[in-house]
Amino acid sequence: MAKRKVIIMGAAGRDFHNFNTIYRDNEDYEVVAFTATQIPDIEGRLYPPELAGKLYPEGIPIHPEDDLPDLIDKFDVDDVVFSYSDVSYEYVMGAGAWAMSCGAKNFVLIGPEPTMIDSDVPVIAVCATRTGCGKSQTTRRVAEILTEAGKKVAVIRHPMPYGDLTKQIWQRFETIEDLKKHECTIEEMEEYEPHIERGNIVYAGVDYGAILREAEKEADFILWDGGNNDTAFYTPDLYITVVDPHRPGDELTYYPGELNLRLADIVIINKIDTADLEGILEVRQNTMDANPCAMIMEAASPITVDDPDLIEGKRVLVIEDGPTLTHGGMKFGAGVMAAMRSGAAEMIDPRPFAVGTIAETFEKYPETGDLLPAMGYSPQQIKDLEATIAASDAEAVVIGTPIDLRRIVKIDKPCVRVQYDLQIIGKPNLEDIIKREFEL
């Protein structure tokens, strides 16, 4: 029987995991290519032989997604497998219509169960319905609860392999120096550094079977820290999904966010301190309709500013988390809230000052608004971010990113840092449920 020809559409994350768990060493299929989108500069690479396995001694090429029609025609493709996250249902089915109109015989979505890897230690998964709901602070809070109970926690972060894949099969981060050692992008540091600052060990990479085996050697608990609104890579003993009342309705219209909503044991409605009551009620009702068995908790993400007097009455440039503003579609974040509460006179529009790849980001995501996304997927993009800040006529800079951007980027203006943590409102809270479920 001839092998089925497969193309995997992805963004350097779920696509590689789907390959590793479903297609690697599977002689019924031939994966002829990956296509890449969402993340700058991830196409034109090779999924290397060290990861691809014995059936692919030359590795597997990674093409821009725009090449999909030509690849389908060239290889007479049977299955196009959609393998990335935080996109609308309209987007997903548009991709399916495009692929099948180009000659693909099938457009495939792989469910979470076949790709979830079982662990020898308990797993708590933190996922979401959109990028920017508040997974990071939720994960930090869960890690704090487990650590206070005397348990050793390994945080395993959703993949962000934007560099040399052969060096990223599995990575362990315990110190800030490890971020330099592994040449992390700003986007990676935003996810890893807040955990490291709190004493948590973080694992990430490409091969999540190998990553799990390493983490299990030192951990009493595996804490899955999801990316975008992707589903968990490991079979969870407790599934937590975070939803965002600032974007009510998205929990039912984005892929695979609704799947996370329906799989959850606990749904956390975050940001109730800044959201409208109507949005909170809508998200709560949608959650009850989609997953009536889930426990619903409400949470705030209170912000702190290290020097609010510095921005009072000033024209400020607000820098927010890049992915949350771009494919996450958020119009504001913690930096905007901090600027408003601290009495900034004006939040300037950074677009007239944008340089190079930052200007290209605004062209690709024109709805971003008067905010600067902290894009840093490459050394050049970091330079362009620095140049954009320097070119702006702001009197002060508000850093709303999860990391202290001043450590990475030279900022030639007075600046403040905004931080935020999760605060569950009422009881039972996360601590109560985790202690009960795992008999801590």
pLDDT tens digit sequence for 26-36? 999 999 999 99
List of residues 6+ apart from 66 with CB closer than 8 A = none
List of residues 6+ apart from 102 with CB closer than 8 A = 68, 69, 72, 73
Please, what is the Cα angle at 78 between 76 and 81, to 5 degrees?
Answer: 120
Q: How far is Cα 272 from Cα 249, in angstroms, rounded to an integer?
A: 16
> Closest Cα to residue 127, out of 233, 38, 206, 14?
233
What is the pLDDT, as a whole number, of residue 418? 85
List of residues 6+ apart from 347 with CB closer than 8 A = 315, 316, 317, 318, 336, 339, 370, 371
Q: What is the pLDDT of residues 139-180, one digit of tens each?
A: 999 999 999 999 999 999 999 877 789 889 999 999 999 988
What is the pLDDT, as a whole number, of residue 276? 93
> Closest Cα to residue 82, out of 39, 157, 18?
18
3-state SS assignment for residue 308:
helix
Instruction: Give all domains of the chain, ordered by start, each with its CATH number.
Output: 4-110 (3.40.50.720), 115-302+422-438 (3.40.50.300), 304-419 (no CATH)
For the chain, 440 residues long, the average pLDDT of each consecutive 10-residue run is 94 95 97 88 84 97 96 98 97 98 98 97 98 92 97 94 86 92 83 89 96 97 96 98 97 98 98 93 98 97 84 88 62 78 87 86 78 78 86 87 81 86 92 96
What is the pLDDT, as a whole number, of residue 376? 67
> Please, are residues 16 and 75 in contact by the beta-carbon 8 Å criterion?
no
CB-facing half-sphere around the CA of 231: CA atoms within 13 A: 26
Q: How far is Cα 352 from Cα 371, in angstroms, rounded to an integer?
A: 12
Cα dihedral 344, 350, 352, 354, rounded to 10, equals 150
Q: What is the pLDDT of residues 360-401, one digit of tens each?
A: 888 887 777 778 887 767 788 888 888 888 888 889 888 888
pTM, 2 dp: 0.86
3-state SS assignment for residue 3:
coil
Tokens 């997604």 — which residue?
Answer: 65
Cis peptide before 114 (omega within 30 of 0): no
What is the pLDDT, as a whole number, of residue 245? 96
Paired sense of beta strands 295-300 and 423-425, if any: antiparallel
Q: Where are the alpha helices (DSSP H) in 1-116?
A: 14-18, 49-52, 68-75, 89-101
> Please, are residues 12 and 162 in contact by the beta-carbon 8 Å criterion?
yes
> Closest Cα to residue 157, out of 239, 85, 215, 242?
215
Q: What are phi and psi of 384, to 5 degrees?
A: -70, -35
What is the pLDDT, as a whole number, of residue 7? 98
DSSP 89-132: HHHHHHHHHHHHHTT-SEEE---SGGGPBP-SS-EEEEEESSTT
> Please, are residues 156 and 123 in contact by the beta-carbon 8 Å criterion?
no
> Please, are residues 378 and 185 in contact by the beta-carbon 8 Å criterion?
yes
Q: How far is Cα 338 from Cα 302, in angstroms, rounded to an integer?
A: 10
Q: 10: which strand partners?
A: 36, 83
> Closest Cα to residue 398, out of 384, 417, 413, 420?
417
List of residues 6+ apart from 284 with CB closer than 8 A = 269, 296
26-63 CB burial, b ≥16 within 10 A, e <16: beebbbbbbbbbbbbebbebbbbeebbeebbeebbbbb
98, two tokens:
């495009």
> Please, are residues 257 and 130 in contact by the beta-carbon 8 Å criterion?
yes
Q: What is the pLDDT of residues 220-235, one digit of tens each?
A: 999 999 999 999 999 9
> Please, are residues 323 and 85 in contact by the beta-carbon 8 Å criterion?
no
